[in-house]
Amino acid sequence: MWPKISCSLLILAVCLQTPGCERKAPLGQTRYVAFSLREVAERAHAGARDDPMTTLGGITRIAGLVHDAAHDDLILVGMAARELPGISLDDLVVALRARLVHDEWPLVSIDPTEHSEESRIQKVSFDGHIGATAFGRDFLEADVLLKRYSLGCLPAAPGVPAYKTLIEDDIVNTAVRAGVGVGGIHWVSAEQGPAEIQRFEGASVQTQGAYRARFWFYSMKPYRAVARDGVFCIEELRIGVRSEVADGDGQAPRAETGMTYDDVRDRFAEMWTEHFGEMSAAHPILKRLKALYDLVAVAEAIRQTSHDVSLAPLLDSYHPEHVAIDPESPLMELYGLVDRSDGLQHLVRISGGIELHSEIRWLNDGDVSPLRRIVVDSRPSDHALAWPLPLAGWNMPNGRDLAATVMGGERDPGRRNSHRTQGAGGCSVLTQSILLNPHLNAGGASVTRFSGFPAAPSAPPPLRGVSMEAIIKEGSFIRDASGHLNSERNEIIRNRPGDSRLSWRPGGEERR
């Protein structure tokens, strides 16, 4: 039996702004829509499954939720912008169940097993019951992106070389500083690598080491949220990539192999951050991932707030479409053979693992209660499922990465973000390096013989998935003295076409 869910605030999902990725759209293409969670729950309980129900009334960028006390309803508010990837009822239900039913954070991980060295296969696992859903599939695809890019498995964007390329440059530069010329580095795939290095079996090992770098998405720009009287709003949030060293085998591996790639690690993260807009344009899955983060933020805010609204009919009756996801993933790794002028053989192996964790902490500050009136008053009927909103010209906080023409007006440059958010986890890339010296045992001394790369050192402890914590403090609220926002809130509620409407848009076409 599902517990009652409560909400007293407008929840605006987190805006992961991608700098530089603004795209222009024709005027009039974007509209604002209100979507009733109470009505969609009732329709789901009755067995309905049609548009606009399954498309959230066309919403593609979430602004938040309004609590309509008169109709005992939670109303999802957002923008219908054609240039953004769609959001489905399936996605919403998966996020709601993860937080409200299972009390888990959505997580996908790709981890080696005890047999991965031989099988070249890793295991895919999910938390939050997101497996076998489009949510889980796209989460997995987004997780894999950073690792595949780092290994050079995807075309490099201008200004953002692969981590493998930066490692290669560092190896060459280190050798040159030691007076050794490098004719090049020959890279081979995981399938070809073991056979390629077999010819070095039994060679004397002069030095070896391992270096694990971890990369993760984090919130670059702190933000503030505003909330009051059934309304909660959050400002834009820009994201980038951070890095840290995660010990491999505990050795200090610089020596002759050039194995402290701190500069390389930092440069890769900085380049991703600087060009994140271009990366999002080149890889649309990053925009899709933003929408999934938004839904988890909405679900967590609903879980933590305080007006009784039952979503049990939706969580009980609606079943997201089953999506087949391969439970196994090929081990991603590359082998490099360095052509050195001093006769030594330098072998390199680069492999990766996924542990994605993005943690977002909220702090509410301010008053956007008029938006609640606009949403509730514009509802065409008591049973409306989704409806358009009279919000032309609104500078929606969760849409500031979009062009002004898409937003329907000029963006307010004076809005500021100031609350710090945190992120951790990410993609770990292990680089193993072995320097072979055929003359090392000339004096008869005991030496280590090469017998292939050692098994990869244990990865850092598993990390949580998308982790969002709502911190709601009454002392953080600031009332809107002008009353302007409160009047907008009442406008939305007053213009609701009828109790049975799923969505509505005052002054325009109504969706039933």
**Six-digit token pair at 161?**
């070389």
Percent of the chain's residues with pLDDT above 90:
20
**In this predicted structure, what is the pLDDT of residue 323?**
95
Can you say whether the dihedral through the CA atoms of 152, 157, 163, 164 is positive or negative?
Answer: positive
What are the boundaries of each domain within the chain?
5-504
Q: Which residues contact 458 (CB under 8 A, 6 or more apart)?
A: none
DSSP letter, residue 3: P
Q: Is 184 in a helix, a strand, or coil?
A: strand
Q: Determine the Cα–Cα distance for residues 273 and 218; give it in Å rounded to an integer.
A: 10
Q: Determine the Cα–Cα distance for residues 110 and 429; give it in Å rounded to an integer.
A: 13
Q: Are 183 and 343 in contact (CB under 8 A)?
A: no
Q: Which residues contact 216 (CB under 8 A, 6 or more apart)?
A: 241, 242, 243, 356, 357, 358, 423, 424, 425, 426, 427
**In this predicted structure, what is the pLDDT of residue 56?**
95
pLDDT-derived band of residue 416, with 50, 70 and 90 as boundaries?
A: very low
> Does residue 90 or residue 233 have the better pLDDT?
90
Looking at the predicted structure, is the pLDDT value of residue 121 above 90? no
**In this predicted structure, what is the pLDDT of residue 439?**
78
- Name the most confidently modeled range: 358-362, 379-383, 418-422, 490-494: 379-383
For the CA atoms of 12, 13, 17, 23, what is the dihedral angle to 10 degrees? -80
137-146 in b/e form (b: 16+ CB < 10 A) is: bbbbbbbbbb
**In this predicted structure, what is the pLDDT of residue 186?**
92
> Does residue 63 or residue 158 have the better pLDDT?
158
**In this predicted structure, what is the pLDDT of residue 217?**
65
Question: Mean of the pLDDT values across residues 31-35?
Answer: 90
The pLDDT mean for the chain works out to 73
pLDDT-derived band of residue 408, with 50, 70 and 90 as boundaries?
A: very low
> Does residue 395 or residue 446 have the better pLDDT?
446
Amino acid code (one letter) for 184: G
- Name the most confidently modeled range: 107-121, 206-220, 333-347: 333-347
- Name the most confidently modeled range: 16-25, 29-38, 197-206, 258-267: 197-206
> Does residue 407 or residue 431 have the better pLDDT?
431
Q: Are 493 and 77 in contact (CB under 8 A)?
A: no
**In this predicted structure, what is the pLDDT of residue 329?**
82
pLDDT-derived band of residue 40, with 50, 70 and 90 as boundaries?
A: very high
Looking at the predicted structure, is the pLDDT value of residue 411 above 50? no
Percent of the chain's residues with pLDDT above 70:
64
pLDDT-derived band of residue 318, with 50, 70 and 90 as boundaries?
A: very high
Element spanning 194, H or E: helix 193-197
**In this predicted structure, what is the pLDDT of residue 62?**
83
pLDDT digits (tens, 9 = 90+) for 438-477: 877 655 567 788 888 877 655 444 433 333 333 333 443 4
pLDDT digits (tens, 9 = 90+) for 220-273: 544 344 555 666 554 554 567 777 776 544 343 444 444 466 788 889 989 988
Least confident of 122-126, 350-354, 427-431: 350-354
Is residue 165 packed enough to be buried (19+ CB in 10 Å), middle (13-18) or exposed (0-12)? middle
**In this predicted structure, what is the pLDDT of residue 227?**
53
**In this predicted structure, what is the pLDDT of residue 38?**
92
**In this predicted structure, what is the pLDDT of residue 471?**
37
